[in-house]
Each structure stands twice: as C-alpha cells, then as structure tokens.
Amino acid sequence: METIKDIARICGVGVSTVSRAINNHPDINPETKEMIMQVIKEHNYIPNNSARNLKRSESKAIAVLVKGITNPFFNDMIGIIEQETQRKKYSFILQRVEENENELDVAIQLVKEKKLKGIIFLGGIITHSSENFAQLDVPFVLSTSDIVNEEDNKAPLWSSVSVDDFAESYKMTDYLCKAGHRKIAIIAATKGDESIGKLRLEGYLKALGNNNIRPDKSIILHMEENKDSYSMETGYRLMKKLLKERDKFTAVYAIADSLAVGACRAITETGAVIPRDCSVAGFDGLEIGTYYNPSLTTIRQPVEELAKVTIDLLFNIIRKNGQHKKVVLPGELLVRESTREI
C-alpha cells in the first residue's frame, strides 16, 4: 500500500502539495492538483484514516449510537438523521452498541478517535448517572429516551427528545377503558425495567386508576430478564400463557407493536377473532401495524419529527445557536381494526 509520500515522489512534488490536493485546499495550482489527482486515481491511493484522525484536531462528523440494532423502529430515524447530517456537510458515523455494553464508554472512545462534534444516542442510556455524562465533552442528545433529571431547575447538560411514554401509554389505556373495557391485560417489560417499559406500565396503571379500575396482577405480564426481548415471539409466548385465563380480560395492551403482533397470532390461533372476542393494542406505530391483519391499534411515534428535532437540536448546540433542552413530542393514537367498543 502506498502512502502520501509515494504519491509525492511519483508526482515529483512535496507531500504537502499532495495533501493540499486531497483536502481541497485553495492555495494550489489547479494544474498540479489535477495531475496529482490523476496519479492518485491510477494508483488507487487511499489516505489512511487513522493518520488523518490522529493529526486532525477536529473533524466535521457526528455519530449516532444505537443500542441493539434489532429495533426496526430506529431504522427510519437513522435514515432521516443521516440524510439531514449530510445536508449539513457533516459526515455521519453509525455505531451499534451491544445490549450489555456501556454506550457511554463507547461514545467517549469514539469522540476521541474520530474527533466528533456531537453524538446522538438512540435508545438505551437511561440507567446512567449524570456524573458519568460529565466525561463526554461534546454536545449530545438523547433521542427516544431520557433519564429522569432530579435537578430540573438547572440548565440541562444535554438535550433529549422523545414522546411522553407515560402520557401516551395513559392515552391508550384510557381509550380502551372509555371503549368499555374494564379487564385490560398488559404485556409489559421486565419487572426491573427502569426505562420506557416502566413508564408505559405506569401510564397504564394510572389510567386504570382514573377509570376506577383496580389493577389485576394476574393479567399484568412481564417479560423475563435475560430471556425475552421486544419480539413477536415473546408476545406470542406470553399471550399463550395469558390465554389460560381467558375470562379475565377483554382487551390486551402490549407495550410494543412487535409484542402485539405475536399476541394477535396467539389469540387468533385459539379460533378467537380480533377484535370481536378480544381487542389488542400496541405501541410504536411500526409499519407492520398498518399491514397486519387486523390492522393494529397503536400509538404512533412521530418518527420523522423525532429525527428532525434530534438533529436540529444537536446542530444548534454545535453551532452555538442554542441551549440544551428537553423536547417532548406528541404521539398519535391510531385506532384501527384490532380494537372495538364493548
């Protein structure tokens, strides 16, 4: 593999001139530049990124860290963020982080390595203390998740944008109640969940309370730690279990569309018809909800807006045009075929 030196030698110029050619520097003779670029192309020379990053004090790049790429919900967001980033002439790095990995460490390392200007966290992150965040010395925004900040009065150290999971979950549950359901089962996250799973469960409980319904523990299903994920299979399996207590509920609310789909299947397999015999509702607004049969009543998260706000927020900070802030976007209750009044 050749280096910039080789190219310089071949071209009969100094390395800096080659460097200038590569990096679109203004002060270089157009002819020499063209000649150099020609040679570069012929020799398939590719600058070594490590060396560049090492030398450069800054770069125009941001990164998105996604926890568990499995969530199809993020795909659209990533697409939009990437597009928007490129429109701003920044380069975009997508970094996946393992479920058990510490995204903060990954972030800090990445910032060092790539000299990032900012970071976006997609999902995860909730369990970290603000002390840990202090080490991250570039602006960042938590998208689709936030940690509860005890000190609301102070100027926040980061931005966040998400829907109000508690309120939206309340909205869905309340809709079911108002539709006449009084026995509403829920497929929830793990018992120890401290993130959106918890919020959505709390919204459910609150709505029940306000509708004078006492929660029935036997129809509150939890995912199992280290075993279940937000998958159709999980929804299916938990629903199967629940179906043994068939007379205990008239509606099922799954805190994610993927779970809801699995639940639907389990119900349908018993010969029951949705929503005639049982209503089913989800959360997220995944594409499958539109095309599933029956189409799925759900809370749609405003994906495009979520992404747009996220990227705008970040660039505002980067360009010193604004402060960090917490943005909450409204979700949308989509009543479709899978639920009915009773």
DSSP state of 8: H
Residues 6+ apart with CB under 8 A from 64: 78, 81, 82, 92, 93, 94, 95, 119, 120, 121, 122
| Contact partner at residue 231 from a second copy, DNA, none, CB < 5 to 8 Å by partner kind | a second copy
The reply to whether 308 sits near a second copy by the rule CB under 8 A is no
The reply to whether 70 sits near a second copy by the rule CB under 8 A is yes
- Give the binding range for a second copy (CB under 8 A) out of 75-83, 149-157, 177-185, 302-310: 75-83
Q: Do residues 122 and 143 lie in contact, with contact meaning Cβ atoms separated by under 8 Å?
A: yes
**Interatomic CA distance for residues 31 and 205, integer angstroms:** 72
Interface with a second copy: number of residues (CB under 8 A): 42
**Interatomic CA distance for residues 244 and 163, integer angstroms:** 34
Q: How far is the CB of 46 from DNA (least distance, A)?
A: 7
CB-nearer residue toward DNA: 54 or 273? 54
Q: Do residues 216 and 250 lie in contact, with contact meaning Cβ atoms separated by under 8 Å?
A: no
**Interatomic CA distance for residues 300 and 172, integer angstroms:** 11
Side-chain half-sphere of 236: how many Cα atoms within 13 Å?
9
The reply to whether 44 sits near a second copy by the rule CB under 8 A is yes
Write down the residue that tokens 């609301």 correspond to.
152
Q: How far is the CB of 161 from a second copy (least distance, A)?
A: 22
The reply to whether 5 sits near DNA by the rule CB under 7 A is yes
Contact positions with DNA (CB under 7 A) in 48-107:
48, 51-52, 54-57
| Contact partner at residue 78 from a second copy, DNA, none, CB < 5 to 8 Å by partner kind | a second copy
Which of helix, strand or coil describes residue 251?
Answer: strand
CB-nearer residue toward a second copy: 288 or 335? 288
Q: How far is the CB of 182 from a second copy (least distance, A)?
A: 27
Among residues 76, 61, 71, the alpha carbon closest in space to that of 120 is found at: 61
**Interatomic CA distance for residues 274 and 87, integer angstroms:** 45
The reply to whether 9 sits near DNA by the rule CB under 7 A is no
Q: How many CB atoms lie within 10 A of CB 337?
A: 15
| Contact partner at residue 29 from a second copy, DNA, none, CB < 5 to 8 Å by partner kind | DNA
Q: What angle do CA 57, 61, 66 make, to 5 degrees?
A: 125
Contact positions with DNA (CB under 7 A) in 20-59:
20, 22-23, 26-33, 45-48, 51-52, 54-57
The reply to whether 239 sits near a second copy by the rule CB under 8 A is no
The reply to whether 53 sits near a second copy by the rule CB under 8 A is yes
Residue of 113, 194, 225, 341 interacting with a second copy (CB under 8 A): 113
Copy the structure tokens of residue 198. Answer: 């918890």
Copy the structure tokens of residue 226. Answer: 């280290």
**Interatomic CA distance for residues 232 and 253, integer angstroms:** 14
CB-nearer residue toward a second copy: 43 or 183? 43
Q: What is the DSSP string of 191-216?
A: TT--SHHHHHHHHHHHHHHHTT----
Residues 6+ apart with CB under 8 A from 45: 2, 4, 6, 7, 39
CB-nearer residue toward DNA: 115 or 340? 115
The reply to whether 280 sits near a second copy by the rule CB under 8 A is no
Contacting residues toward a second copy, per CB under 8 A: 1, 44, 46, 48-51, 53-54, 69-70, 72, 75, 78-79, 94, 96, 105, 108-109, 112-114, 135, 137, 231-233, 236, 261-262, 264-265, 268, 287-288, 290-295
Give the footprint of DNA on this chain (CB under 7 A): 1, 3-5, 12-17, 19-20, 22-23, 26-33, 45-48, 51-52, 54-57
